[in-house]
Amino acid sequence: MEVHYQPILDTFSGRIVAIEALARMREASGTIYLPAQFLPQMSVENGAELSRVVLTRALSDLARLDQGGYRLGISFNLSPLSLDRECVSCLRKVVQESGIEAHRITVEILESSDFSDIDRAIETLREIRELGLELALDDMGSAYASLLRLKNLPVGKIKLDQSFVSSLERTPEDLHIVRAIQDLAADLRLDLVAEGVETEAVLDTLVTMGIPAVQGFAVSHPLTLERLQAFLQEFHFSREPLPRTLFGFYAGTMASHATICRMLTINPTELNLEHLPLASHCRGHAVLERLGHPHDSPLGVMHQRYHEALGKTSELGLGACHSRQWEQMQEIFDTFMAMVLSAWRREQRGSKG
């Protein structure tokens, strides 16, 4: 059994702030097996023992990283079938013997977990929190019970299921789901980590949207301790202006549009209604220029048409959302966004060809 570590990037500071400990099984031949290949063959007892071994080794490696000047948090997966009093005692013992502060450790519980005794599981999770450990709901959005889990479980962090993230370039409409979970996490004051960030375009998009933490191949593959140490020494997060891609612009504009529409329906006086009709006063104007689409380009012209439609809609006040003007504004916005996606995909094909 080996433990590999996948770095987690804080998008605001541009630093690696944590790592996730991942179990791997290696045959004598060198073949490595992922958890999905060996966990189903394990008994509950063996699964609990695996969690203990992974955590013990991970905390030992974390202490070595501390000595090298890398003070990181660490997370690991715990089977919901292991949630009992013996589990709490085991965690207390392992953490105390490691010398690592409990608040640096996050226990990840699968969102789709089938708790046989939900009340008992909640009590156990509260006892884990009392040890000072953090709790995260992993694969958020992968099962129908997400909101119920958030309501009942004493978690302080949610990890967005990678199925919503890794396919964003193919299904950009999933950005609506990502934004909804982002808003939910912010409103509930929960930390949010997006998993499955596999390409530079998706990384650019999530950073532009303000997702606070990400992990995935675009940051780093899971690494052995030795390779992780080398990665941390060399890692540099570019501070170039955002977004860097039209796909990032697409996501940022979608978020901005949703905020503007919400304000138009709730309290339009909070908006600068004089600037709203003018694309030149929008940050997106400068972004399009920087990405090679000036004000007289098709995208630049459509951007101005969109802002003019926003301006006309804002003149209607609080009743705007029930008007034909609102529908026309939304149609223009949809056309503009379709043009942005089309231009981005052309650029993608050009870069590959």
Look up the domain containing 51 and give its range. 2-234
Q: Is residue 241 domain-resident?
A: no
Q: Are residues 259 and 318 in the same domain?
A: yes
Instruction: Give me the number of domains the chain comprises.
Output: 2
Which of 234, 261, 285 is a domain's end point?
234
Q: Are residues 189 and 274 in the same domain?
A: no
Q: Is residue 239 domain-resident?
A: no
Instruction: Kindly report whether the peptide bond that precedes residue 243 is cis, defined as omega within 30 degrees of 0.
Output: yes
232-236 own/partner pairs: CB under 8 Å, 24+ apart: 232/7, 232/16, 232/65, 232/68, 232/70, 235/7, 235/16
Which of 199, 234, 269 is a domain's end point?
234
Q: Are residues 195 and 262 in the same domain?
A: no
> What does the pLDDT read at residue 146?
54
> What does the pLDDT read at residue 340?
98
> What does the pLDDT read at residue 113?
56
Q: Are residues 175 and 321 in the same domain?
A: no
> What does the pLDDT read at residue 144?
47
Q: Is residue 211 domain-resident?
A: yes
Q: Are residues 189 and 321 in the same domain?
A: no
Q: Are residues 102 and 214 in the same domain?
A: yes
CATH label of the domain that carries residue 109: 3.20.20.450
What does the alpha-carbon distance between residue 72 and residue 105 come to, in Å, rounded to a whole number? Answer: 9
Question: For residue 97, how many other CB atoms are within 10 A of its CB?
Answer: 11
Give the torsion sign (CA, 343, 346, 352, 353). negative
Q: Are residues 122 and 223 in the same domain?
A: yes
Type of residue numbered 154: P
Taking 70 as the pLDDT cut, the residues of the chain under it are: 111-118, 141-150, 353
Q: Are residues 122 and 44 in the same domain?
A: yes
Which of 189, 208, 234 is a domain's end point?
234
Q: Is residue 74 domain-resident?
A: yes
Q: Are residues 144 and 288 in the same domain?
A: no
